[in-house]
Amino acid sequence: MPSPIRALTRAEAEARAGLVRVDGYTVHLDVTDPETYRSDTTVEFRCTAPGATTFAEVKGARLDRAVLNGRPLDPAALDGNRLTLTGLAAANRLEVTFTAPYSHAGEGLHRTTDPQDGGVYLYGQAPLDEAQRMFACFDQPDLKAPITLTVTAPAQWTVLGNAPLRQARDGRWSFAPTPPLAPYLFTVLAGAWHVRTAEHDGVPLALVCRRSLAARLDAAAGELFAATAASLDSYHELFGVRYPFTKYDQAFVPDFAGVAVENPGLVNYREELLFDGVAPDHEHRRRFVIMAHELAHMWFGNLVTLRWWDDIWLNEAFAELMGWRVAAGTGRHPGAAADFVVWRKRWGMLADQRPSTHPVAPDDVADTTAAFLNFDGISYAKGAAALRQLSVLLGDDVFLAGLRVYFERFRFGNATLADFLAVLAEVSTVDLTGWARLWLRTAGVNTLRPAPGPAVHQSGSPLRPHRFRAAVYDRTGAPTHRTEVTLTGGAAGLDLPEGPVLLLNDGDDTYAKLRLDPAGLAALPEVLPAVADPLARAQLWTAAMDATHDGELPPEAFLTLLRAALPGEAETGVLLEVLGFARDSLARRGLVPFGPLETACAAALAAAEPGSGRQLALAAALTTVAGPAGAARLAGWLAPDPAGPPGLAVTQDLRWEALGRLVALGYDGAPATTGAPATTGASATTSAPATPGAPATPGAPATTGATGGGAAAGSGFDAVAAIADEERRDPSAGGAQHAVRCRAALPAAAAKAEAWELIVRDERPRVAMAAAAGFWQPGQEALTDPYVERFFADAPAMVAGRYQLFAMNLIRQVFPRYTRRSLRLAEELLATAGLDPVLRREVGDAADELRYFQDRVEAGRHRSTRW
């Protein structure tokens, strides 16, 4: 039996870093074989204690040859992913050759064949410890070294690396050496890629995608290059340090398990960021933010790299903060601050209240497996909010001056939290030790609450220092009074008069949950729609969502607010986040009916500008809340001459969304039943509560017969045929994934069994996730109930051997979150010794959330199932 792959521990990394100094890697990859690739690596390194022993890493490969200082090593000596190196000299040369299969799961060297253009596409994905799949290395972030890459590939391909191309001849590409890089930042692209080039401020730029998406890339190239240029200009001004690498390529790659990764000189993005035609403003804004985030990493993470993974926030929180700052600061996306509050910051706050919460800068990250679990809303969004508060505390000019010193002092080296704080203390003359202990070394979110006086009270542990503004908003939505607040303990007075709505943290300078007083909550349905500032509206919406989530505001009261203010919410991104909360946290839990959500969404759609991105976004949102009575409207969008609101661009993605909803509703072409209220439960003709275990989502299938998906007698809609027709219409990889999701939603035993196999066993992240997204549907309990137990039995297999990011997202998606049976089964699984850490975290968090909402539903305090 092969030896197991072992995660690198912090203790091992510290010991090896004390022993080894890497001078450089020379890597040659041969990717001419369609099944496997060959890697030849030469590592030049020094040893501080000649005669000592250490190890290099090679993962998922057959070791063909290893030579240390001219001495052959037995290939059988590869123990799991570790190649022991004994008798080290002061100066050493390690030569390793291995052969490995390509990945199809998004880690290591990933290979895809496009079903539409027939092209082959390869890309490298190295974080956190996947570089060792592509070349033999000391795979830890504080052993940085230049990497010189050559690639042998079919002569007609395009090949790109971290560094500029020096020569391409006869199927061999040679690249310049990189600056010192951590191994996890290595990447390579090879295949039939489509490339667009430009230059800005002396930096060569490129955009890359597969050929079947060339039209999308070409249409977006002007916007993408402009976003890159604007971000470069902003960072040059803010940091006082020029872009530290010699080129900047951005590739949109298939089957990507995440959103983006910040490889120096060659960033990889998920290709869904290349939009199909018209797209709403908030999607353009979020794409800009993601691009600015990855560019910020060229300084935060790539120029200066964390020493160990406990300081991942030094990479991610800074990139998060800067991405949103640049989006707003360039003037291109004035709604960026509001979007951050309602989308990203709330993500961080929810993560901060789960069992898996951790400090922004934990000091107990034992190994790389544990490190991966911290790529979450805390490291990103909470970390960014904490840094924003730090800049308010020190003053922005001082904060930025500290960053400039930090970059210069640790240029192409490594740094820690202590290093960062020391630089800021030096520049500001402020001792930040206590601040860091409360803000970065402890977990949890505080709550700020108005009190008579007026005053502000802080709860939660620990009590953190805050500096922010408070404002009073009148019934016209105008801020009439503002004041600066410094809160160092549990309470502080406010120099403000009374008014209809008192908003704490006006301007979003700190990180805390906000509450309104009873008078403010009562006035909110009148005041919120009138507030002109999108950031203030986002703050008020978030305060209402948090109060509802925490059980302080009845769901019915939130529904009243939604009816009053949602259709007129001008920021589409905010509107969709609020609707998503009402749908996923309230309606699907049985706490409010779906009908008002569909009505509010339809009203906003009717008011949207014809042909606008907002109109398209609202049409897509409507598919997620439409019930049986609205099915005919969705079917009309699929007609040869789409019958939708004037100007609606029925894109291919919208067609798939509409079809998926029709399949889930069991639509058969017949008119919806009238005279009886539709429900969110197991039957469309009863007002009984939703069956325990069923998602309380709108509209059970009209028929859930044994076959499901075929046309009912006399009907004009055959779901199986419709999916096949749509897949022929859209022969892309994305179309295939949409078809998988739709088939998983069919009310048929065979369809569920096929989908479950994909979920458990398919190594392609996008395919397995698509099957998971379609699997659990209301009204299909007879088909899906057995899979509740199956999930907990099969969950270990779902994560075994899969890329951690893929495994985390999959478990989150497929956990059966609408039945209390899941709680008992989760407890049994969590009691298993040696459970995979990814599985333990995701199941523990999902069970905690389920328990909270089930308790509220079963208490009978809030229960509404009627449409």
Place of tokens 């009845």: 554
Q: Judge whether residue 697 has pLDDT over 50.
A: no
Q: What is the pLDDT of residue 2?
A: 66
pLDDT band, residue 852 (cuts 50/70/90): confident
The pLDDT of residue 1 is 56
- As a whole number of angstroms, the distance between CA 465 and CA 454 comes to 19
Q: Which residues pair with 492 in a beta bridge?
A: 456
Angle at 131 between CA 796 and CA 383, to 5 degrees: 75
> How do residues 412-452 score in pLDDT, each as one tens digit?
999 999 999 999 999 999 999 999 999 999 999 999 999 99
What pLDDT score does 643 carry?
A: 86
Task: Verify cis geometry, omega within 30 degrees of 0, for the bond prior to 454.
Answer: yes
pLDDT at 672: 62
* Two structure tokens written together for 864: 């509404």
330-336 contact pairs (CB < 8 A, 24+) = 330/230, 330/231, 330/234, 332/227, 332/230, 332/288, 333/281, 333/284, 333/285, 333/288, 333/289, 334/534, 335/281, 335/282, 335/285, 335/534, 335/571, 335/573, 335/574, 336/285, 336/289
Q: By mean pLDDT, which of 337-351, 541-555, 603-617, 703-717 is the weakest?
A: 703-717
Contact 808, 369 (CB under 8 A): no
Lowest mean pLDDT of 118-132, 346-360, 714-728, name the range.
Answer: 714-728
The per-residue pLDDT for 864 is: 37
Nearest CA-CA partner of 756 in 800, 808, 793, 707: 793
The matching CATH number, chosen from 2.60.40.1730, 3.40.1350.10, 3.30.390.50, 1.10.3720.10, for 1-191 is 2.60.40.1730
Q: Chain-wide mean pLDDT for the chain?
A: 91
Helices (H), 608-649: 613-625, 631-637
What band does 696 get if pLDDT is binned at 50, 70 and 90? very low
Q: Would you state the pLDDT for residue 650?
A: 92
Q: Band of the pLDDT at 311, cuts 50, 70, 90?
A: very high
The pLDDT, as a whole number, for residue 700 is 40
Answer yes or no: 294 catalytic. Answer: yes
Contact 253, 269 (CB under 8 A): yes
Question: What percent of the chain is predicted at pLDDT more than 70?
Answer: 93
What are residue 122's phi and psi, to 5 degrees? -120, 140
- pLDDT above 80: residue 496: yes
Give the pLDDT of residue 631: 93
Q: Exactly one of 262, 294, 571, 842 is catalytic; name it.
A: 294
At residue 673, the pLDDT reads 55
Q: Which of 465, 473, 452 is nearest to 512 (CA)?
A: 465
CA gap 20, 13 in Å, rounded: 10
Would you say 716 and 722 are in contact if contact means Cβ atoms under 8 Å apart? no
Q: Identify which of 499, 572, 567, 510 has the alpha carbon closest to the alpha carbon of residue 538.
A: 572
Mean pLDDT across 710-731 = 79
Nearest to 559 by CA among 533, 537, 586: 586
pTM above 0.75, yes or no: yes
Q: How far apart are CA 334 and CA 339, in angstroms?
A: 10
What CA–CA distance (Å, rounded) separates 70 from 95?
A: 9
C-alpha span between 627 and 313 (Å, rounded): 43
Q: What is the C-alpha radius of gyration for the chain, rounded to an integer number of angstroms?
A: 27
Q: What are phi and psi of 391, to 5 degrees?
A: -65, -35
Q: Where in the chain is the domain with CATH 2.60.40.1730?
A: 1-191
DSSP 8-class letter at 776: -
CA dihedral 358, 361, 363, 369 (to 10 degrees): 70
pLDDT digits 0-9 by tens, 505-552: 999 999 999 999 999 999 999 999 999 999 999 999 999 999 999 989
Q: CB of 108 within 8 A of CB of 124?
A: yes
Among 12-26, 521-535, 814-828, whose mean pLDDT is lowest? Answer: 814-828
Given a cut of 60, whether residue 689 has pLDDT beyond it is no
Residue (of 91, 111, 92) closest to 33 by Cα position? 111
Q: How many residues are there in the chain?
A: 867
Tens digit of each residue's pLDDT (9 = 90 or more) over 454-477: 999 999 999 999 999 999 999 999
Residue 682: band (very low, low, confident or very high) from pLDDT cuts 50, 70, 90? very low
Decide if pLDDT at 693 tops 50: no
**Residue 710 pLDDT:** 42
Q: Residue 294: what pLDDT?
A: 98
Where is 448: in which H helix or E strand? Answer: strand 447-451
Q: Above 70 in pLDDT, residue 680?
A: no
Q: Alpha-carbon distance 536 to 516, whole Å?
A: 13
Q: In sequence order, what are the residues at sequence separation of 6 or more whose Cβ sits closer than 8 angstroms to the Cβ of residue 92?
A: 43, 44, 45, 46, 47, 68, 69, 85
Tens-digit pLDDT profile for residues 738-785: 999 999 999 999 999 999 999 999 989 999 999 999 999 877 888 999
pLDDT range class, residue 679, cuts 50, 70, 90: very low
Cis peptide, bond prior to residue 462, ω within 30 of zero: yes
Confidence of residue 687 (pLDDT cuts 50, 70, 90): very low
Q: For position 14, what pLDDT does the model report?
A: 97
Using CA atoms, how far residue 791 sits from 757, 799, 816, in Å, is 11, 12, 8
**Mean pLDDT of the region 786-798:** 96
The mean-pLDDT minimum among 213-217, 224-228, 318-322, 592-596 falls in 592-596
> Using one digit for the tens of pLDDT, what is the confidence trace for 172-193?
999 999 999 999 999 999 999 9
DSSP string, 78-98: EETTEEEE-S--SEEEEEEEE
Q: Which of 206, 204, 161 is nearest to 181 (CA)?
A: 161
| CA dihedral for 834, 837, 840, 843, sign (positive or negative) | negative
Beta-carbon contacts of residue 501 (< 8 Å; ≥ 6 apart): 472, 473, 516, 520, 523, 524, 527, 540
pLDDT of amino acid 819 = 86
Cis-peptide, bond into residue 128, ω within 30° of zero: yes
- Encoded amino acid at 68, one letter: L
State the pLDDT at residue 684. Answer: 28
In angstroms, rounded to a whole number, what is the distance separating the alpha carbons of residues 484 and 488? Answer: 13
For residue 129, give both structure tokens: 């410890």
What pLDDT is stored for residue 854 in this prediction? Answer: 79
Q: Evaluate if residue 706 carries a pLDDT over 80.
A: no
Write the Ramachandran bin of 443: left for phi over 0, alpha for psi from -120 to 50, otherwise beta: beta
Q: Which helix or strand (DSSP H or E) is residue 391 part of?
A: helix 383-394
pLDDT of 688 > 70? The answer is no
Q: In which band, very low, low, confident or very high, does the pLDDT at 858 lie, cut at 50, 70 and 90?
A: low
